[in-house]
A and B are shown apart, each in its own frame.
Chain A
Amino acid sequence: MPDVSSRPHREDVSIRQRIAENPGPALGWLAGALLLFALEAGAVVHFVTGLFGSPVELPTLLSRELIPNNGYQTPSGAWQETFLGLPAAYAWALRVVLVYAYSFVWMYWLWRGYLVFRENYRYADWTPRDDMIDRLRGHRWGQFGAIIVFAFVVMALFAPALGPTTVERTISNPYSHSIEYYNDQGQLENITVGSANLDSRSQGTPQQNVGPMQYDQFGRFHPFGTLPSGKDMFTFMASGARISLFIGLSAIIVSGLIAAAFALLTAYYKGLVDLGVVIVGDSIMSLPRLLFVILLTVVLSGTWIAEIYSGAVILALIFAGTGWPFLWRSVRGPAMQVSEQEWIDAAKSFGQKPRVTMRKHMAPYILGYLLVYASMSLGGIVIAVAGLSFLGLGINPPTPEWGRAVDIGQSYVTTASWHISFIPGVMIVLVVTAFNALGDGIRDAIDPQSETGEGEGNEAAAATGGGA
């Protein structure tokens, strides 16, 4: 036991100094994190260099190059060019399992990191956050949400590695790529992906349909079946998940920042500032949201910003611009509450700068509420983006978006190709329900009284299909 009194008080030492004093656990954790990162560093390098030009290829653990599932079946039934000669479906499934296992290990490692911090570097033995985490651990409904959200986020992050094929090969540029297969005469034949797709279309008849978990005649495995154009639907969905998550997250982050800033300012200064924001917010809320978003999407469709990431950036900005008053409304109450507390008065009379007071004494209190409503509205954005693509607006084709798959499959719902419309809809329902459930979980964790207190206010905040 070192002599505590001879050193500055633990609370006054910055986290960096605390780690410098006892680097062991932190270094151990960091080494593990680096090891985990190194396995997938190639994918990150690929992505970053891809933003500035032609991407750099590096060996990566969880890539389709290392565990290929695109091969062909010889007449004797053996598989060529797939991973270890496994059937295409198993090779693909193996890759999916590995990707999820890898992500799970990451999750576990981050949790370990938090524990390391808690045990070795945090000055307080106990903080209210510990209780929140304990409550979240007993919240089955919230955990259900967290698991689905985790699955969705991993699907979006690893979209290129998860699909049985890539967007480039099957959707955007199918005639520049080719595959090999054994034709009816038993000869190895080369065919472009585009021509192969023409024979693997899902057109509603049992003869012309590739359903979920089926092979087409070229030995390509389609976990979700194919689209009416013969393109692989799982690849489409994974890539669509990425764009949905991108729009949802960036819109929520931007509108969350605006909402938090306004909530703090209005709660701190009250009076005219509050009135001004109320009027601006109410005016934006008085425009029917979906119709206004449709209007903005059409009006801004010709601008340069609508070209970035197939229109995802402009959509995110539109949703942020129209969505912040809803978030602000929901954190305004808690912000007002905290601004009435004695410690705010104390901070004011100490002569603390308003900015510091808001950041240090008010922001932490509303952050939890913001998280709850952000999680719940994220589902609404996913639905609205899908609704826009369903109408043919928003994300420019051919970039995949879930709503477009629903649109494409409309006329096949009662036929053999039911999967085209059905699967995206079920996935939207799952993701939206999961974000709502996660929001419920966080709410009960930060505010255990809310279940009996003001539950109905939060109920209404949950995202519903009514938005689109």
Chain B
Amino acid sequence: MSRWQYFAKRLLLSIPVLLFGTSITFLVIRAGPLDPVSAILGPQGDPQAYNTIRRQLGLNQPLWQQYIDYMVNMFTFNLGQSWVLQPDTSVYSLVLGYAPRTIWLGFWSVLIAIFIGIPLGFYAGLNPNTFSDYFASFGGIVWRAMPNFWLAVILMSVLSQSEKFFFGFDWQTFLYSTNVTGPPPLPDPIWKLFTNPDQFVRALKKIAPAALVLGSASMGNEMRIGRTAVLETINSNFIETAKAKGVPPRSLVWKHIFRNALIPLVPIITGEAFILIGGSVLVETVFDISGIGFLFFQAVKNGDMPLTGSLMFIFIVLVVLINIVQDLLYTIIDPRVGYEGGA
């Protein structure tokens, strides 16, 4: 099987996955014991209104009819409206309102993790079994095992009284005066972020603690895997050959070791996206960033079924897309793909 055939197969496989994943969501939301009508009416709704709303929402139709409607709506990207959380607001406008903050958070958490985790891991791998290697490795192991929500709570509390812990360094007045919690101040037309450095730094400072927490697990992972990958590459035969050939150490490290060590890091970096989609709920809750994870949590808690279903569909599409991107990257970077079997 050639590389591109392999990729095409993966692409084809994502269609049933998308269909099936959406069906599971429908099953949980509509066929489960959740009652959206009483969520709209509150506990003391009169039966007259109850039946009216039920009819309006199409809940009196048979389940298969609802299923077809739901699937058709989703796959034509007709995502509907919120019922309970912000009645009569379209899901699109809600997502457009909430998503930028999550994307800003996710962007920085990926970046911080990459720029701290990978260099640390490579450093540890190039200097194995030294004190700094042990320090970095052990730190990485503990760091990634920390639950995000706990780390967020601790970091938030420490930063809000940072002058007590960091010898007079006050985070809240550092550069710009801000609270530790709260949504980042993103300017209204979002591109102003890149034309106005003041806005940029302000928004960055606000999101940094949350991004650090959200990226913590991947940072530890990237460090560990970077270390293993470098160690493996160093000990492989082609490095020996290159050394014997007289390749200068600098080009040996940059050209031969790093490039090969990056391959196993690809799934970790793309895998971060899953953490950002799933894990942002807790971080956003603690740091009071009203992002998309927070929106989902509120929608679920308030029984806002259509919003929940539509958000879940967006997440599924995102995950499937990320998987395709990952396969594409693999296909490009690693010529061995498709030869080792596995679908």
Contact = CB atoms under 8 A, between A and B. Distances in A.
B149 interface: yes
B274 A288 contact: yes
Interface string B146-161: 1111110110111011
B217 A429 contact: no
A462 B17 CA distance: 25
B178 interface: no
Report, nearest first, the 5 A-B pairs whose CB atoms are least far apart.
A466-B217, A413-B157, A464-B217, A425-B150, A283-B20
Interface of B: 13, 16-18, 20-21, 24-25, 28-29, 32-34, 141-142, 144-151, 153-154, 156-158, 160-161, 164-165, 214, 216-218, 220-221, 224-225, 228-229, 232, 235, 264, 267-268, 271, 274-275, 277-279, 281-282, 285-286, 293, 296-297, 300-301, 303, 308, 312, 315-316, 319-320, 323, 341-343
Interface in A324-339: 333, 336
Contacts of A424: 150
20 contacts: A279-B17, A287-B319, A291-B315, A294-B297, A295-B300, A295-B308, A299-B33, A390-B282, A406-B149, A410-B286, A411-B157, A413-B158, A422-B154, A452-B232, A459-B225, A463-B145, A464-B144, A464-B145, A465-B147, A468-B149
A425 B146 contact: yes
Contacts of A468: 147-149, 279, 282
A151 interface: no
Contacts of B153: 406, 410, 413, 421, 425
Contact of A288 (B154, B268, B315): B315
A286 B28 contact: no
A413 B156 CA distance: 9
Contacts of A432: 145, 147
B293 A278 contact: no
Q: Main SS of chain B's interface residues?
A: helix
A436 B145 contact: yes
A28 interface: no
A278 B343 contact: yes
A303 interface: yes
Contacts of B319: 285-288
Nearest to B34: A299
B147 A294 contact: no
Given A300-B32, A465-B217, A291 B281 contact: yes
Contacts of B300: 294-295, 298
Nearest to B236: A452
Contacts of B156: 413
A459 B224 contact: yes
A465 B151 contact: yes
Given A336-B341, A403-B149, A428-B150, A387 B282 contact: yes
A379 interface: yes
A465 B280 CA distance: 12
Given A386-B150, A465-B150, A466-B275, 15 more contacts: A279-B13, A283-B17, A288-B274, A295-B28, A295-B308, A336-B342, A391-B297, A410-B153, A433-B141, A452-B235, A456-B264, A459-B221, A462-B221, A464-B217, A466-B218
